[in-house]
Amino acid sequence: MTQLAIMNIEKGEEIAIAVVSGSIPGTGRYKFFAKKKKNGQYEWAHFTERESGLKEKVFRGEVKNEEELKLVLEIMNRNLKRIFGDVAEMKQGIPEFRSMLGTKFDDSIN
């Protein structure tokens, strides 16, 4: 099964947030990525990554500024913690970069 990229980072864009929850038995991990676009706005993606690596339930959006982005993350974390407990809080993570063919990149893009 081939999956499309959750988010593409184009030249001139930068990663603003990459957070991940702890492992939730039977669910996997929740992840939230955001990038700052050339126009100063932010694009974000929130999804579940199953233990198999399959990504599901992808939600996407855009916000005007960093304050709105922080609010989106705060709301998502609040709901995850309410449902699954403290283990589900998304915290700073180290993103893994891959090509559309699945080849892993180092973290020195752009």
pLDDT in tens, 11-46: 999 999 999 999 999 999 999 999 999 999 999 999
Annotated domain spans of the chain? 14-92
- pLDDT-derived band at 94 (thresholds 50, 70, 90) equals low
And the tokens for 75?
Answer: 């709301």
And the tokens for 2?
Answer: 């081939």
CA dist 27 and 63 (Å) reads 28
Q: Is 109 left (phi over 0), alpha (psi -120 to 50) or beta?
A: beta
Whether the per-residue pLDDT at 65 is higher than 90: the answer is: yes
